[in-house]
Chains A and B, each alone.
Chain A
Amino acid sequence: MQIVADEKKSTSGINSVEVFLAHALTLEDEAAGGYQEIGDSMAVHNNPEVAGLFFQMAKYGRMHAAEVRELAAGLDLPHIPPWEFVWRDGESPEAPSMDKMHYMMRPAQALMLALRAERAAHGFYSSVAETTTHPRVRELAAQFAEEEAEHVRLLKDWITKYPDPDPNWDFDPDPPAMPE
């Protein structure tokens, strides 16, 4: 019999490079996968502009994942079941929330959601850098946190290039369809 665990985990448990990289890799992979999935969903729902933005985010995510893989080369990363990662809210911080998506969302809104994800990722890496006892982990975490901070800056800048959505952005005159 299991007591359902308290999900507010602490990052102070990450004191090995392998464990840290396992977290970082999963974070980047799930971010890339998440953005790709949302991009696909937007494309399927005929919102190509927003789809394109998410595909771009997915591409960056894959690049970062590749970087982490390179760092992990030669190391034996542990297997960590998805629910045992020390994410603060039980979910990988950089994974964009699909549940906040809307098929008619505007680019500025999409980028705001991506921004929130990048901030959460930054928060995770900073927290690890602060709490870890392992110097190399601290080094890597700080480095990744700085990269995320850079993404945050870029996103903020990117957002300014798009107008605010107008108040009726989600008005769709057509009723829902019945496909099956």
Chain B
Amino acid sequence: MTALPDKTALTAASFKSDYRPVWCPGCGHYSVLSSLTKALAELGLQREEVAVVSGIGCSSRIPAYTSVYGFHSVHGRALPVATGLKVSRPDLTVIVTGGDGDGYSIGGNHFLHACRRNVDLTYVVMDNQVYGMTKGQASPTTPADWDKSKLTPRGTGVSPFHPLAVALAAGANFIARCYAGDPNGTARVITEAVRHPGFSMVQVLSQCVTYQPGQKEWKTTVRKADVTTTSDVELAARWLMADDGLSTGILYLGNRPVYRPELRASASLEDLETAFRV
């Protein structure tokens, strides 16, 4: 094998479990799984010190396909589960995975506050602009005129929002967009995201071959962002709002303080009773 980052490091293959993914052939998530395992190998982590937390959806199946600790929780709630885990176990590397429906719709509130709270987490959202698991409904990132869903046969009539702009406004400390068609590039970004302190937001355009076959086009329309990474929130905000959502790269690097309460005892249980004593 290629030399590893250090003697004790594991290969990307070691981070995959033997559970065969049930994603449709052609799904972009295979590539993201590969990127994630490459990143974990690159970071030189051991299996037992990593946890992948997900919600519900096709992309949320990822924990089972890795060989690290994982929590496949309920729809929209991966971020608080990961937050509780990381705050009480700051020694672990905690990665959150999910899709655009799970993360931006039902999970929207937690998304805002996870960005705001800035716990040291890496959130990988596999955005395919659809609810793939439940037969193809529109999601918060689906174009308003997409009329292929039985729930919204004339299109939703509701514009998609800009998740990265929302992440920026809510306080995320690292913002990037990747494309599943570039697994090594995505691996690099995930590696940087984990290394960067605080809440790292990585949106991966990851095509749904079954419900959004047109996303094949991304191969030609997705391009590298023509800007340098910035730490200027205003600049990043303007750029993000102007972008069409198809530029990839690490777009923003923040330096906000990380939410990491110290877990250190300074008193005994008996001391806690003092206030009650008559």
Contact = CB atoms under 8 A, between A and B. Distances in A.
A33 B13 contact: yes
B73 interface: no
7 contacts: A4-B224, A44-B20, A76-B3, A91-B183, A103-B24, A103-B25, A176-B210
Interface of A: 1-4, 7, 22, 25-26, 29, 33, 37-38, 40-45, 69, 76-83, 85, 87, 90-92, 98-103, 105, 175-180
Interface residues of B, number: 51
B253 A1 contact: yes
A79 B1 CA distance: 10
A82 B42 contact: yes
B268 interface: no
B181 A99 contact: yes
B21 A4 contact: no
B25 A41 contact: yes
Given A25-B2, A41-B20, A102-B209, A82 B38 contact: yes
Contacts of A41: 20-21, 23, 25, 30
B31 A99 contact: yes
Contacts of A91: 182-184
B184 A82 contact: yes
A85 to B, nearest CB: 7
Main secondary structure on B side of the interface with A: loop
B109 interface: no
A177 B253 CA distance: 41
Contacts of B21: 37, 40-41, 44
Interface string B189-227: 001000000000000000101110000100100001100
B136 A176 contact: yes
A82 B185 CA distance: 8
B134 interface: yes
Given A25-B1, A45-B25, A81-B42, A4 B187 contact: no
B25 A77 contact: no
Interface in B103-135: 133-135
B236 to A, nearest CB: 12
A90 B1 contact: no
Given A7-B224, A99-B207, A81 B229 contact: no
A101 B249 CA distance: 26
B28 interface: yes
Contacts of B275: none
Given A2-B250, A178-B135, A22 B3 contact: yes
Interface string B4-35: 11000000110000001111111110110000
B184 A178 contact: no
Nearest to B186: A83
The 9 closest A-B pairs by CB, nearest first: A101-B25, A83-B188, A79-B3, A4-B249, A83-B184, A40-B20, A98-B30, A77-B3, A82-B184
Contact of A22 (B2, B42, B134, B225): B2
A102 B25 contact: yes
B138 interface: no
A38 B25 contact: yes
A85 B38 CA distance: 13
A175 to B, nearest CB: 8
Nearest to A42: B25
